Structure 1
Amino acid sequence: MSRPKIKSKNDVKEGSCFKSIPVSSGRESYVPQVTPDRHQATARKLKDKLNIATWNIRTLLQKTLENIKQEMERMKLNILGLSEVRWKGAGKITSGGHEIIYSDGTESEKGVGIIVEQTVSKAIKGYWALSDRVLLVKIAGKPVDLNIIQVYAPTANSNDEDLDKFYNDLDTAKTQCKSQDPLIIMGDFNAKVGTEKVDDIVGKHGLGIRNERGEKLIEWCQTNNIIVGNTWFQQPPRRKRTWKSPGDETRNQIDYMMISKRYRNALLLAKTYPSADCYSDYVPVVGKFKLKLKKNSKPFTNIKFDLAILKTNQTIREKYQISVQNKFESLGDAEEVEQQ
């Protein structure tokens, strides 16, 4: 199939190269920060429709954080992925009922994060801070878990090694997800996939002209059975563009909401929200999903012993006496009083 002319550069913006990062707990960045799979013993249905978004916010200062939480509530978002967080280290904090998981560098450069509302936070099973460009969060679902990977890809002026490392980290994150679980990959890819349909991976409702970074992204999606979700919904241009240059001379679509192909029908709609504002030249991409999550619902209860039954039930009293006698007889093996 013929493809349009490819530009040699991404012509979106500049960024710095990759640096290794420590995590806040002192462990290496590839070590899971929370035990992933031995947690959700008892659960119930939370909700079956989720609003999930990704947004390059440029920085997550305190003033911006409060602004973002307000925008989440206004747009009724359950989960918001963030690019360019610019916090040091990696970890998890709680702020005003929202839980923030982040993965960043040692010099407050780049960084990714995910903010979840209070009801969804109770369903989080674990997270992996792979680097300051890739973060994986696993959320308990019904009947399968939901995996979300938030990314911030290297920019046009980065070298091939930076880009290769980014995709290697992305591959590593994907291998931590079960094939039968829905996988959402979202964030700033610094790539333009264009308007030409590619098999069942890229739809015809993209924006702009495909570039080399877009070609690489499409190839990765084809290999991993991932669809670029926000290219499959017809929207006016203002609902497609995710970034504009200073002076509004250039508008591009470089942020994407992607999902595993077998769950493509779970994505009901994807579009940008130009009215959202956090002092960034980006706008959020919001996807509406039909998915079911879980949360712990059984409270802890103290065990109460019915001692009165020892007086009224002869059989139970005899069993109790034998059990206690056996336990104390084992002490007879100790020769010293202190041991007994």
Structure 2
Amino acid sequence: MMDQVSTTAQARASPSSDAHCPRPSGASSQQGLPRNGRARLKKQAFRVATLNIGTLTGRGRELADLLRRRRVHVASLQETRWKGAKAKELGDGYKLLYNGGVSGRNGVGVVICEELKDKVVDVQRCSDRLMLVKLDMQESLVNIVSAYAPQAGCSSEDKADFWQLLDAVMQSVSADEQVLVLGDLNGHLGMARTGYERGHGGYAIGNQEGEDVLAFALAYDLALTNTYFKKKVDHLATYSSGGIKTQIDFCLVRRTQLSLVTNAKVIP
């Protein structure tokens, strides 16, 4: 039984259509997550991952094997390109909950390991770019948000709609519940963090864009965990184009829970 958040999500992304490199992991914690002042439970790692998979068609078994080898408990998927709102067993005890539009574009999902299947108490399929899965971990409710922000070429209306919907999802989560926002947020971050020191750890690569991502983190007092650990470029970058490597995939947690995160990195 999981009693803590460990976000050493050590998974890599499969090749995707938009030149994505390996995805970043989540975060790892070695402490209990008490709720309402209850005593801490026994320490236990909880590994999460996020990856833009390009398409999930024909790759379910490969994904399950990857997650098993990396000992990932929960994974957030983007660009599954599957239609409908369903659940599917992937193998090795992993179960996928997913949501996609009628066009077969975009699509998001959350993969749960066998030990956590009976911990799912709520699933909110908000759009083909956003969904939430709530887990009852006995001493804490943990909300897993899988997010896939519109790409640079999408309309400003699409981008605004996404962030407004993500705002609504965050506002629906009680302040005493844990939340992990995992996904491809398509916002390039750089080393500069003036005005965002509370959520930006200072270790990032990018082109000084990503204002929407930083504003979102600031609004909900979230920390971008993969900017808090000094890593080699290959363990930071999640996007590559024209020889330039940047960061667009993130794992965000409440700033008050950042001390529970022991590692966050991209696995090449």
TM range (shorter): 0.7 to 0.9
Give the 3-state SS of the residue equivalent to 1:109 in structure 2: coil
2:78 touches 2:106 (CA, 8 Å); kept in 1? yes
1:269 to 2:263 alignment = yes
CA distance in 1, matches of 2:108, 2:42: 26
Following superposition, the deviation at residue 109 of structure 1 comes to: 0.3
- State which of 206, 209, 218 in structure 2 corresponds to 1:208: 206
**Alignment-derived partner of residue 33 in structure 1:** none
**Alignment-derived partner of residue 83 in structure 2:** 88
**Alignment-derived partner of residue 168 in structure 1:** 164
CA distance in 2, matches of 1:208, 1:171: 24
1:57 to 2:53 alignment = yes
Give the 3-state SS of the residue equivalent to 2:151 in structure 1: coil
**Alignment-derived partner of residue 250 in structure 2:** 256
**Alignment-derived partner of residue 314 in structure 1:** none
**Alignment-derived partner of residue 107 in structure 1:** 103
Following superposition, the deviation at residue 249 of structure 1 comes to: 2.1
2:130 touches 2:146 (CA, 8 Å); kept in 1? yes
Q: Show CA shifts across 1:178-231 (max 9, x none).
A: 1111110010001012112332111110112211xx112111211111111100
1:217 to 2:234 alignment = no
Q: Show CA shifts across 1:93-112 (max 9, x none).
A: 22322110101110110010
CA distance in 2, matches of 1:109, 1:123: 29
Q: Can you give the 5+ residue segments of structure 2 that lack an aligned partner in the other structure?
A: 1-16, 20-40
Q: Show CA shifts across 1:223-273 (max 9, x none).
A: 11111110010111000011223xx62322100011111211121110000
Larger-Rg structure: 1
**Alignment-derived partner of residue 67 in structure 1:** 62
Runs of 4+ residues deviating >3 angstroms: none
The amino acid of 2:260's aligned partner reads A
The amino acid of 2:163's aligned partner reads Y
Q: Can you give the 5+ residue segments of structure 1 that lack an aligned partner in the other structure?
A: 1-11, 15-44, 275-340
Q: Show CA shifts across 1:258-297 (max 9, x none).
A: 11112111211100001xxxxxxxxxxxxxxxxxxxxxxx
- State which of 220, 226, 242 in structure 1 corresponds to 2:222: 226
TM-score by length of 1: 0.64
1:196 touches 1:203 (CA, 8 Å); kept in 2? no
Structure with the largest fraction of helix: 1
Aligned residues: 228
The amino acid of 2:226's aligned partner reads N
CA distance in 1, matches of 2:109, 2:53: 10
CA distance in 1, matches of 2:65, 2:244: 28
**Alignment-derived partner of residue 145 in structure 1:** 141
CA distance in 2, matches of 1:147, 1:48: 18
Give the 3-state SS of the residue equivalent to 2:47 in structure 1: strand
Give the 3-state SS of the residue equivalent to 1:241 in structure 2: coil
Q: Among the aligned pairs, what percent are the same residue?
A: 25
Following superposition, the deviation at residue 46 of structure 1 comes to: 9.4
CA distance in 2, matches of 1:98, 1:207: 33
CA distance in 1, matches of 2:169, 2:132: 6
Residues 1-340 of structure 1: pairs in structure 2 closer than 5 A: 48-62=44-58, 64-96=59-91, 97-197=93-193, 198-211=196-209, 214-245=210-241, 249-274=243-268
Following superposition, the deviation at residue 165 of structure 1 comes to: 0.5
CA distance in 1, matches of 2:44, 2:132: 21
Following superposition, the deviation at residue 177 of structure 1 comes to: 1.2
CA distance in 2, matches of 1:46, 1:107: 46
CA distance in 2, matches of 1:199, 1:142: 33
Q: Show CA shifts across 1:134-190 (max 9, x none).
A: 110000124220011010000001111101110111012112211111110010001
